[in-house]
Structure 1
Amino acid sequence: MRLPKFFSDQGSAKPMTRKRKWLLVRTYLPDWIITIVLWGLFYLLDRINGFRRTFDINDTSLHHTFAVHERVPPYALFLICLLFPVVVILIVSLGVLRSAWDLHSGLLGLILSLAVTSTATNIIKICVGRPRPDLLDRCQPAAGLSNPTPYTLSSSSICTRTDLLNDGFRSFPSGHASLSFCGLIYLTFYLAAKMKISNKRGLSIKTWILLAPISGAVLVAVSRSMDYRHHATDIIAGSILGFFIGWYCYRQYYPPLSHPLCHRPYSPRVPREDEDADAEGGRELAGLAANGQRNGNGNGMSKVVTDEENGVDGGGFGRSTIAEDGRGADGGVGLVDGVPVAEGR
């Protein structure tokens, strides 16, 4: 099946030995364990009674009505920030690229980013204790009540209703904004890399594809202001937090978008059985290329081999010929800042 031109083919790979499969499982198992522990920490933190700031009972920014039905309820947030990116990564990695390693790297980075974001967001919420815009509707203070004295503020002790009060002091930052931006910005980077957004050739369909997850994150964040669940600064802070963590976790497993091999995840921590034997030849060819002597012609010219002609599946420093995007035509290892990039294995 011929792939769409804006997706980059990972190519075919040699079968992986049973020994290397177990080594990979043992090597990456701690990553998954840490992720699961972080998710568990998130649910534990959600049940803690955090700090509650004092507030001015006459502050009109806290007088908004409590929205019983949210525009984006928690289950919808789960579908948007987690399930939707997972489905897209599954389709691209297995359906288009046919790369199990890309699937593993994509999902691990996504889940890790959401776990870190949710845990960090909850810790900040608990420590800051900022009142939500609908606090007084949750609180239901006695009619005609005012601040104790002209120069002091009220506390949660004036509230006559307590079932919604704990969540009423968790306005900063917005969890919906941080999680939606984290999951959907991660997906944006993932798709941008697969489509080689920075190849300087331009294709309008790329812009429209990448606009979808970004718009989704923005709309989820804005909905929190429409429901009077968060102040504007809460939403902005949550969006920045989610964006940064999503980008940071993506870069743990993939090269920057500016690199020619940005569509490929970093190589596994466990080297291939033949990688040691290839390393010396790859370094020798790299030295020749740097001095304009690739393929022994001495004038800096090399034989250019395209993906379609030879089914390129190598990395930046191959053993014989050099492909257009810097990949070896017969199984070399690409380097990004000295770090090997996977060949779709």
Structure 2
Amino acid sequence: MPSFFSKTKSATTPRGGRVTGDNNTSAKSRRLRIFLSYAPDWALTIVLWGVFYLLDKVNGYRRLFDVTDTSLAHPHADPERVPVWLLGVLCGAVPAVIIIMTAAIRRTFWDAQSGLLGLILGLGLVATFTNIVKITVGRPRPDFFARCILPEDLTQNPLHGLTSWTVCTQTDDSQLQEGFRSFPSGHASFAWSGMWYLILYLAAKMRINNRTGYTYKSWLLLAPLSCASLITISRTMDYRHHATDVIAGSLIGIAGAWYAYRQYYPPISSPQSYKPYSPRIPKDEEIPLHHRPNRSSTEHMLNGRNSMAVERISHHHTSDNSDNTLNGQQPLNPNSNSNGGRQGWSTVDIGDRTAYGDGAEDDHGEAKETVPRPVERSV
């Protein structure tokens, strides 16, 4: 008998509907629909990384330069202070591991999926956009002369003009090609995208804006902030980028991280900022059925009728006074203490099951770990 009822009993959804059928089968079907709905997002992020890789092979624009420009005469640093593989570990792998560990501690797979998808989306968007701008602008790096290897007898520009890259004696075309990719800084944009996303994620999880003022939260957030700053500064120390290059790259990374984070999480100023948005597939896709009205629901309906009556009276009568009177008398107010001091009717919404205290159990814990998406209504 218990097993029979466990399979046939219909669960009530938070919106007042009832989900019929086997609960286990329905849950598995919903998980599959959720996976299929987010599969294109993962596929698109992979495509973006593929585009980034292909763009890196494109031979972009190469600007003219001034052979007397001392800002291009810095030495070529080899090796770099922060190579590409270390950048990927610090600003890509480390935030991903922290997101997974945080979700594991909170025991919510949905938070891990939302956090990782947002992180990969932000990094992919920033890396692709930065590379597009790089190959289009074609600005020489500060160590361009060391890459170009100018002829020793070339000491001035052509008459009434600037010098072209064709005068370079560099035989390695990849070195020369990289010499024209200074703006904006890819290290800076990638570092700030990963670290700023991590800052938003941790700030929300620690509820940084709950007005309790714990100082350890600020010190913890200083770690990713310092990491992104030091990586950005190292690009000017290695003479790979100008100051304006790293500034522009940092702004691109911050904007991309914020955009990607807000796709899956509310703002950190929200009281529920530590929760991701709920999945696209709602729990109650069936036609909602009204649950049995209790006392609060009956009082709400009676209150609604009284309110309609008051609106009808107010619409058909005029008042000569300016103190909200109706033909010299006070209008009816169902919420007042009239009629012998009786309290007014409650205004609890019939569809708001959380007002009765039974919404969280019917949601199987999802409402505790997600923020409901706004319902789009057609006018």
Task: Give yes or no for TM over 0.5.
Answer: yes
1:338 corresponds to 2:369: no
Q: 1:279 & 1:59 partners in 2: Cα distance?
A: 77
1:171 maps to which residue? 182
SS of 2:354's partner is: coil
Cα distance per residue 1:218-242 (max 9 Å; x no partner): 1100000000000000000000000
Verify the 8 A CA contact 1:139 1:162 in the aligned structure 2.
no
Identity fraction in percent: 48
1:44 maps to which residue? 54
SS of 1:215's partner is: helix
Q: 1:103 & 1:145 partners in 2: Cα distance?
A: 58
Cα distance per residue 1:20-45 (max 9 Å; x no partner): 11101110011011100000000000
Deviation for aligned residue 1:162: 3.8
With over 3 angstroms needed to count, the CA separation of the structure-2 counterparts of 1:265 and 1:51, relative to structure 1, is: same
TM-score, reference length from structure 1 = 0.79
Q: 1:145 & 1:91 partners in 2: Cα distance?
A: 58
Greater Cα shift, 330-339 or 45-54: 330-339
1:238 maps to which residue? 249
Deviation for aligned residue 1:329: 4.7
SS of 1:32's partner is: helix
| 1:166-315 map, 5 Å | 166-273=177-284, 277=288
With over 3 angstroms needed to count, the CA separation of the structure-2 counterparts of 1:234 and 1:299, relative to structure 1, is: farther
Deviating beyond 4 angstroms after TM superposition, the runs of 4 or more aligned structure 1 residues are 273-281, 297-302, 331-337
Q: 1:278 & 1:140 partners in 2: Cα distance?
A: 78
Q: 1:215 & 1:262 partners in 2: Cα distance?
A: 24
Q: 2:234 & 2:375 partners in 1: Cα distance?
A: 41
With over 3 angstroms needed to count, the CA separation of the structure-2 counterparts of 1:202 and 1:279, relative to structure 1, is: farther
Verify the 8 A CA contact 2:150 2:169 in the aligned structure 1.
yes
1:101 corresponds to 2:137: no
Q: 2:291 & 2:139 partners in 1: Cα distance?
A: 59
Deviation for aligned residue 1:106: 0.2
Q: 1:200 & 1:261 partners in 2: Cα distance?
A: 14
CA RMSD of aligned residues (A): 2.9
| 1:116-127 map, 5 Å | 116-127=125-136
With over 3 angstroms needed to count, the CA separation of the structure-2 counterparts of 1:317 and 1:124, relative to structure 1, is: farther
For 1:112, give the aligned amino acid. L
Deviation for aligned residue 1:87: 0.6
SS of 1:29's partner is: helix
1:56 maps to which residue? 66
Which structure 2 segments of 5+ residues have no match? Answer: 1-22, 301-306, 308-334, 336-342
Q: 2:290 & 2:214 partners in 1: Cα distance?
A: 37
Deviation for aligned residue 1:318: 2.1
Q: 2:66 & 2:134 partners in 1: Cα distance?
A: 20
Larger Rg: 2
For 2:93, give the aligned amino acid. L
Cα distance per residue 1:164-211 (max 9 Å; x no partner): 100000000000000000001001100111111111111111101111
1:29 maps to which residue? 39
Verify the 8 A CA contact 1:259 1:336 in the aligned structure 2.
no
Verify the 8 A CA contact 2:278 2:372 in the aligned structure 1.
no
The equivalent position to 2:143 in structure 1, one of 111, 134, 137, is 134
Greater Cα shift, 39-48 or 155-164: 155-164
SS of 2:282's partner is: coil
Greater Cα shift, 197-206 or 38-47: 197-206
Q: 1:272 & 1:279 partners in 2: Cα distance?
A: 16
Which structure 1 segments of 5+ residues have no match? Answer: 1-13, 303-315, 323-327, 341-345
The equivalent position to 1:320 in structure 2, one of 327, 333, 356, is 356
With over 3 angstroms needed to count, the CA separation of the structure-2 counterparts of 1:91 and 1:57, relative to structure 1, is: same
Verify the 8 A CA contact 2:119 2:197 in the aligned structure 1.
yes
1:85 maps to which residue? 95
Greater Cα shift, 268-277 or 148-157: 268-277
Deviation for aligned residue 1:321: 3.5
For 2:43, give the aligned amino acid. I
Verify the 8 A CA contact 2:278 2:371 in the aligned structure 1.
no
Deviation for aligned residue 1:301: 11
* Corresponding residue pairs, total: 298
